[in-house]
Amino acid sequence: MRTVASSTRLAMRLILTRGVSAMGSVLTGIALDVWLYQQTGSYAQFAAIAVVSALVSLLVTPLTGVLVDRFNKRLLLAVSECITAAAVLAAAWSWHRGSLDAWGVGFVTATMACTAALRWTTMSVVVSMLVPRDDLERVNGLQQIVEGIVLVLGPVLGAAAVTWVGLGGALAIDCVSTVVALCGLLSVPGPQLGTVAQTAPPRRWWVEMGFGLQWIWQRPALRRLMLFITGYNLVASIFTASFSPYVLAAADGHTLGMAAALEGAGALAAGALLSWRILGGHAREDGVLGCAALFAALMMVWGLVRQPALLCLLASCTGLVTSLLVAWLQMVWQSHVPVDVQGRVFAARRLVSSALTPVSILISVPLAEQLMRPALQAWPAARVLWGLGTAGALGALMSCLGLCLLTGCLLRVAGGGLRVPPATTRSQATPLLPMVDR
């Protein structure tokens, strides 16, 4: 017999060991980026690898949903860790032989993007399987704390690893972190993360990959939530892409490092608030909508700010707000989607909500350079607010996008908000066997 409390502890153990592995992946990513840029000096190759990895991740996402719903979750997590370790070892061997090049870096980066997509879908379902609804806030808060630590320490440790132990040492550290994650998996009994009884017989793979989207589309409240987050991601992705160049244009590299660290500290604070249940007692859908509106307001102010201290303060606030939004959004989906279809549904909503992200990042360049920069030169009043140059163009773009997002949030409030009725709650779906005493 396994109690609910012990199942929650198992989920927390998995999250912590997975966080160690995530830190190792960050070290590898930064080390490979630095090594490639030092070898080639080509930003074009760097950007191309990033775009290809993002597209590969999107392409494999529907398949991950089918895999998660059909197969043992512990096996899938173990396979994803082993594939990542194999790719890292291949990169280390190529580097040792002196044959590592841009193609090899691209292969490793794309492989890690694929396994990361599989782990995200699997861990989302694992939390639903192991954690009772009353503990979801606390466990998702722990996830945000771990992600915040990775955001804060990952770049720092990555840069230090490249300096102290080089690329080979950074890759070796990543392999050790994989062993830690595998040990965490071994501590979970096999039946706890087994397959969930399906309410319908399995169909062909390509039909199954479209099932998640069809399931969401038949439920207006969840469809509305997914489309709202898709619009939010279009704006948030441009903010993320312009974060570094804007801070560098407005201030300096030291400010960028502080702002990035404080953004991660904001994520840590969000995880602490959720873990301690300080923000409980309200609808999570309202929290998602409220955080989106707050983020929009922060973007509007962000575009007007140039002072380093204010940039760091706003970065911390955005880290706090976006982390709360992500955690509450995840809890909404975990609470309203039956566990036997969560893999396909979570993969589908991730695919849709992130599908246009590469496009939005690409169009942000002409928006800033060909629209905002001429507009600032033509309108003296706008120049007073945002100034000229790169900082002015990016700042004006951020403020305008923030205003658009805030308008969308207000329209959504006027249209009834994002509340999801309890007609398809988790308790009315397939029973969650790991959560009951057996």
User: Residues 91-128: pLDDT tens digits?
Assistant: 999 998 989 888 899 899 999 999 999 998 898 888 88
- Give residue 377's pLDDT: 84
Query: Does residue 260 carry a pLDDT above 60?
Result: yes
Give the separation between CA 278 and CA 297, rounded to whole angstroms: 23
Other beta carbons within 10 Å of 74: 20
Q: What is the dihedral of CA 420, 346, 9, 319, to 10 degrees?
A: -80
User: How large is the average pLDDT for residues 49-55?
Assistant: 78
Cβ neighbors of 179 (< 8 A, separation 6 or more) are: none
Give the separation between CA 316 and CA 309, rounded to whole angstroms: 11
Query: Does residue 410 carry a pLDDT above 80?
Result: yes
Query: Does residue 393 carry a pLDDT above 70?
Result: yes
- Give residue 296's pLDDT: 97
- Give residue 194's pLDDT: 57
Stretch among 18-27, 182-191, 286-295 having the lowest mean pLDDT: 182-191
Q: Which range has the top average pLDDT, 35-39, 266-270, 307-311? A: 307-311
Q: Which residue has the higher pLDDT, 284 or 2?
A: 284
Stretch among 12-21, 45-54, 226-235, 296-305 having the lowest mean pLDDT: 45-54
The band of 320, judged by pLDDT with boundaries at 50, 70 and 90, is: very high
The mean pLDDT value of the chain amounts to: 82
Q: Distance from CA of residue 245 to its chain's centroid?
A: 21
Give the separation between CA 325 and CA 115, rounded to whole angstroms: 24
Query: Does residue 1 carry a pLDDT above 60?
Result: no
Give the separation between CA 106 and CA 127, rounded to whole angstroms: 31
Q: Which range has the top average pLDDT, 35-49, 137-151, 297-311, 409-423? A: 297-311
Give the separation between CA 84 and CA 80, rounded to whole angstroms: 6
Query: Does residue 400 carry a pLDDT above 80?
Result: yes
pTM for this model (two decimals): 0.77
- Give residue 223's pLDDT: 93
CATH 1.10.530.10 is the classification of domain 1-133+153-186: no
- Give residue 192's pLDDT: 59
- Both structure tokens of 301: 């102010």
CB 382 within 8 A of CB 223: no
Q: Which range has the top average pLDDT, 88-102, 126-140, 386-400? A: 88-102
The closest of 400, 236, 211, 434 to 329, measured between CA atoms, is: 236
CB under 8 A, 24+ apart: contacts of 182-186? 182/78, 182/81, 182/82, 183/17, 184/13, 184/14, 184/16, 184/17, 184/18, 185/14, 185/17, 185/74, 185/77, 185/78, 185/81
User: How large is the average pLDDT for residues 262-281?
Assistant: 78
Give the separation between CA 139 and CA 311, rounded to whole angstroms: 31
User: How large is the average pLDDT for residues 16-44?
Assistant: 80
Query: Does residue 15 carry a pLDDT above 80?
Result: yes
- Give residue 436's pLDDT: 26
User: How large is the average pLDDT for residues 199-224?
Assistant: 78
User: How large is the average pLDDT for residues 381-392?
Assistant: 82
Q: Which residue has the higher pLDDT, 419 or 7?
A: 419
Query: Does residue 76 carry a pLDDT above 80?
Result: yes
| Span(s) in the chain for CATH 1.20.1250.20 | 1-133+153-186, 205-426
How many CA within 13 A on the CB side of residue 138?
13
> Kindly report the CA angle at 195 between 183 and 58, in degrees rounded to 5?
80
Give the C-alpha distances (Å, rounded to integers) separating 209 from 73, 121, 217, 342, 348. Answer: 18, 13, 14, 12, 8
How many CA within 13 A on the CB side of residue 388?
5
CB 215 within 8 A of CB 340: no
User: How large is the average pLDDT for residues 224-229?
Assistant: 94
CB 171 within 8 A of CB 95: yes
Q: Where do we find the tokens 């000229």?
A: 388
- Both structure tokens of 359: 């496009």
CATH code linked to domain 205-426? 1.20.1250.20
